[in-house]
């Protein structure tokens, strides 16, 4: 018998024949009546054959097929994943704050470097050198000195 037919055959319920039914099951209206043994009928005695199926036999939905342990494990794993995601978001925000602070510090240092470099260039620039040269008594003369010639002494 193929697997699909086995599964289908497992869930089929036969209706009992009139000769096989118990008097308690036939007389649902007579719930207050006593059975042959003298006791009142129970809930299972009043139920029909289709209503007596166990919960596992009629599990058509996805959640009914999952065991309680698997469902609890699924919820636990989902909670862990959500916690990890929220932690990751917070860590990313903290890292972004650190990067922005490092960028501000980098910009401040670049501006300080440019300011100091400008001061240094003003101290060693041509205008400063000419001013100091005049201060020690050097004279600015546009005439060139004598030409220097190199001889080959080889």
Q: CB of 26 within 8 A of CB of 14?
A: no
pLDDT at 47 over 90: no
144 found inside a domain:
no
pLDDT band at residue 34 using 50, 70 and 90 as cut-offs: low
57 found inside a domain:
no
> What value does the mean pLDDT of the chain take?
78
151 found inside a domain:
no
| Count of domains observed in the chain | 2
80 found inside a domain:
yes
Residues 26 and 86 both lie in one domain: no
d(CA 29, CA 108): 92
Residues 85 and 131 both lie in one domain: yes
84 found inside a domain:
yes
How far out from the chain centre does Cα 142 lie?
77
Domain extent at residue 104 = 66-138
Q: CB of 15 within 8 A of CB of 5?
A: no
23 found inside a domain:
yes
Residues 33 and 77 both lie in one domain: no
**Residue, of 27 and 93, whose pLDDT is higher:** 93
pLDDT for the residue 4 = 53
Residues 40 and 86 both lie in one domain: no
Residues 130 and 73 both lie in one domain: yes
9 found inside a domain:
no
Residues 47 and 106 both lie in one domain: no
pLDDT for the residue 33 = 55
3-state secondary structure of 126: helix
pLDDT for the residue 29 = 47
146 found inside a domain:
no
């Amino acid at each position: 018998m193929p697997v699909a037919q086995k599964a289908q055959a497992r869930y089929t319920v036969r209706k009992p024949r009139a000769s096989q039914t118990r008097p308690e099951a036939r007389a649902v209206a007579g719930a207050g009546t006593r059975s042959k043994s003298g006791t009142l009928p129970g809930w299972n005695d009043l139920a029909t054959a289709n209503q007596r199926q166990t919960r596992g036999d009629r599990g058509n939905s996805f959640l009914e097929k999952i065991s309680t342990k698997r469902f609890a494990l699924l919820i636990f794993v989902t909670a862990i994943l959500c916690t990890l995601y929220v932690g990751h978001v917070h860590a990313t925000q903290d890292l972004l704050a650190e990067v922005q602070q490092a960028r501000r510090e980098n910009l401040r240092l670049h501006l300080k470097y440019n300011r100091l470099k400008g001061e240094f260039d003003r101290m060693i620039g041509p205008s400063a050198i000419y001013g100091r040269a005049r201060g020690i008594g050097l004279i600015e003369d546009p005439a060139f000195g004598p030409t220097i010639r190199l001889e080959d002494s080889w």
